[in-house]
Amino acid sequence: MGDDAAGPTTTESRTNRERGFALEDRLARREKRGLTRDLEPAASVEDRTRFASAPNGDEPEFDGEELVFAANNYLGLAHDDRVQSAAAQASIQVGTGAGASRLVTGDTGLHRSLERDLADAKDCERALTFSSGYAANVGTITALAPDVVFSDERNHASIVDGCRLADAETVVYDHADPDALRAAMEARADEAGSWLVVTDSVFSMDGTVAPLSDLCDVAEEYGAWVMVDEAHATGVYDGGIVGRDGLGDRVQVQLGTLSKALASQGGFVAGSADLVDYLVNHARSFIFSTGLAPPAVGAAQEALRIARSEERQRQLWRNVEHLRDGLTEAGYDVRGETHILPVVVGDRRDALALADAVRDRGVMVPAIRPPAVPEGTSRLRVAPTATHTAADVQECLAAFRIAGREVGVL
């Protein structure tokens, strides 16, 4: 065989072999399945809202018209003058950034003050802030390093990822089902090791509440710890669902967020002094992250004060009941039992069509589709705030009534 006919050398074969990630193909497959998403954030729940079609798109514009009923700013504090002022003052007094991890030079009196207030609000010995609720979940589960985690099937992705990173045996039990949890534990009753039950308190896509007292009963029967993520309950209920139900002495690990009702950024863990000391020494997402930005700390502390001292919660619940009653009377399937109102449509195409038709009438409520929710349960997740007026709520209801008839879901 001559040189011209020779096959590629080993080096050439290795060089030409495809080792990339074929992102275009992956996106095309996702689009074919109807799962393509773009970045279209609602940055405000007030009457001026930014929208950008993509991260590299044109500058977002203020349209001045759309009402957003989809944000997690439940108490409407993101645009409260006092919260904004507290953020500004923290920036002036401490700086725009912490400058380092808390264990180096990023620890400030402002951080400690917020953590004392959070511990008091949760009726715990101590609290510890993280850069996000996601970091709090991942850092806490991996630091505890349980042998077995029992996780509700609809827990947030940060809990799921925490279980994966902890490399624990993870047992997924039926949503909000203490009997399923008991059966799973009974099947492993002869196994030794540390067990952790993890659940959201308020489930963000379903508006359901975990039966925490019953879950604690099962956990105590088998000697397990209970960890509750209160992300969507923080600030909306006094002390969260754990506090509302008087379970503080039965839940060993409480998590919360600063980025929803408290209108800031970050997450926290509350519990015993030993728990916090342990996390300071073992939670990698705390140890190796820059401390929470001082403006976020200042804003969260002021928002927490307002949430605990004013009638924002009652204002929110009035809007929730008004919306729930109106949507139900219109003929929609409204599920859940909290301030999160899932309007379940079923088919993903119908949900997208309804979201578009509602938005055409000046109300922003994006469709939620699989895999974020189970197949056949696509929905619009309606989330009012305490600062929506009665007129805003009526406008939202009118948009849903007209849009529902237009797209054929009513």
Residues 275-327: tens digit of each pLDDT: 999 999 999 999 999 999 999 999 999 999 999 988 999 999 999 999 999 99
Residue 240 main-chain phi, psi, to 5 deg: 70, -170
Residues in the chain: 410
Domain range summary for the chain, segments of one domain joined by +? 37-68+311-407, 81-309
**267 token code pair:** 């997450």
Q: What is the pLDDT of residue 52?
A: 44
Annotated catalytic residue within 111, 232, 339, 388: 232
- Classify domain 81-309 at the CATH class level: alpha beta
232 as an active site residue: the answer is: yes
Q: What is the pLDDT of residue 29?
A: 84
As to burial, measured by CB atoms within 10 angstroms (0-12 exposed, 13-18 middle, 19+ buried), residue 194 is middle
Least confident of 51-65, 237-251, 364-378: 51-65
Q: Please write the tens of the pLDDT for every residue from 213-239.
A: 999 999 999 999 999 999 999 999 999
- Look up the pTM and report it: 0.86
User: What is the DSSP annotation of 151-170?
Assistant: EETT--HHHHHHHHHHT-EE
Annotated catalytic residue within 132, 158, 204, 259: 204
What count of other Cβ atoms lies within 10 Å of the Cβ of residue 89? 16
Q: What is the pLDDT of residue 37?
A: 63
Annotated catalytic residue within 111, 260, 339, 388: 260
Q: Report CA torsion sign: 293, 294, 295, 301.
A: positive
**338 token code pair:** 């909290």
Q: What is the pLDDT of residue 18?
A: 65
The CATH classification of domain 37-68+311-407, taken from the options 3.10.20.310, 3.10.129.10, 3.90.1150.10, 3.40.50.740: 3.90.1150.10
Least confident of 63-67, 263-267, 336-340: 63-67
Mean pLDDT of 83-107: 96
SS (H, E, C) 206-261: CCCECCHHHHHHHHHHCCCEEEEECCCCECCECCHHHHHCCCCCCCCEEEEECCCC
**205 token code pair:** 């896509």
What is the helix (H) or strand (E) element at residue 150, kind and residue range?
strand 148-152
C-alpha to C-alpha distance for 338 and 398, rounded to whole angstroms: 22
260 as an active site residue: the answer is: yes
In this structure, which amino acid lies at residue 160?
Answer: V
Cite the DSSP H helix spans in 268-389: 273-282, 284-287, 294-309, 312-330, 348-360
Cα dihedral 366→370→371→376 (10° resolution): 140
Determine if the peptide bond prior to 60 is cis (ω within 30°).
no
Q: Please write the tens of the pLDDT for every residue from 36-87.
A: 666 554 433 334 444 444 445 454 444 556 899 999 999 999 999 999 999 9
204 as an active site residue: the answer is: yes
Question: Quick one: which of 139, 181, 180, 130 has its CA closest to 159?
Answer: 139
Q: Which single residue is written with the structure tokens 């009438």?
A: 361
**42 token code pair:** 């609602």
C-alpha to C-alpha distance for 37 and 367, rounded to whole angstroms: 11
Mean per-residue pLDDT over the chain, rounded: 90
Mean pLDDT of 368-387: 95
